[in-house]
């Protein structure tokens, strides 16, 4: 069984918590003060924290980390497709469903989006509703709006 390590840091959007396993694979990113179990270990979490800080500073548009998100095979397919959405762009839930070959699965894609254990790194904030509105976000719409603004994405009011 892998030992877990975690750390957290402050951003303009609030506290961000991260967790990695004993091999350095990122297993969790969340907003707020959370403890994913294991022990606090800033040094082990430094690569993910540093890259997220760079993202929040506007100097990083992609991540170079080894990820280990835990999820169902369907969720994994959705998350792989999410990872292909470029910085500064958005797509709809239905578009994402088509990308994974399940054109009628927009709602299921939304649920997989909400279960994403690695927000920002797997950019679920870049998925919006079919009508161009912001849609939902597991960490709240305020944070989703701020992430989209950070990437200079403007949605119609």
What is the domain-level CATH number for residue 127? Answer: 1.10.10.10
pLDDT one digit per residue (tens) for the chain, 157 residues: 456 999 999 999 999 999 999 999 999 999 987 766 678 888 999 999 999 999 999 999 999 999 999 999 999 999 999 999 999 999 999 999 999 999 999 999 999 999 999 999 999 999 999 898 998 898 999 999 999 999 999 886 5
pTM for the model: 0.92
Distance between CA atoms of 131 and 153, rounded to whole angstroms?
16
CB-CB contact of 2 with 36 (8 Å): no
Same domain, 32 and 93: no
Q: Which residues of 110-143 are buried (b: 16+ CB within 10 A; e: fewer)?
A: bebbebbbbbbbbbbbbbbeeeeebbbbbbeeeb
Same domain, 96 and 145: yes
**Per annotation, catalytic residue among 45, 49, 91, 124:** 124
Active site residue 45: no
What is the domain-level CATH number for residue 10? Answer: 3.30.160.70
């Amino acid at each position: 069984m892998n030992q877990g390590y975690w750390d957290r840091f402050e951003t303009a959007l609030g506290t961000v918590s991260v967790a990695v396993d004993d091999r350095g694979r990122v297993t969790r990113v969340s907003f707020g003060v959370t403890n994913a179990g294991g022990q606090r270990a800033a040094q082990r979490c430094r690569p993910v924290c540093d890259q997220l800080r760079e993202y929040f500073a506007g100097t990083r548009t992609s991540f170079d980390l080894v990820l280990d998100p835990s999820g169902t095979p369907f969720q994994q397919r959705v998350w792989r497709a999410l990872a292909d959405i470029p910085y500064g762009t958005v797509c709809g839930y239905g578009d994402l469903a088509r990308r994974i070959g399940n054109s009628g699965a927009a709602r299921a894609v939304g649920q997989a989006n909400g279960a994403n254990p690695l927000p920002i790194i797997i950019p679920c904030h870049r998925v919006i509703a079919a009508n161009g509105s912001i849609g939902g976000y597991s960490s709240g719409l305020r944070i989703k709006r701020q992430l989209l603004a950070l990437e200079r994405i403007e949605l119609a009011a």
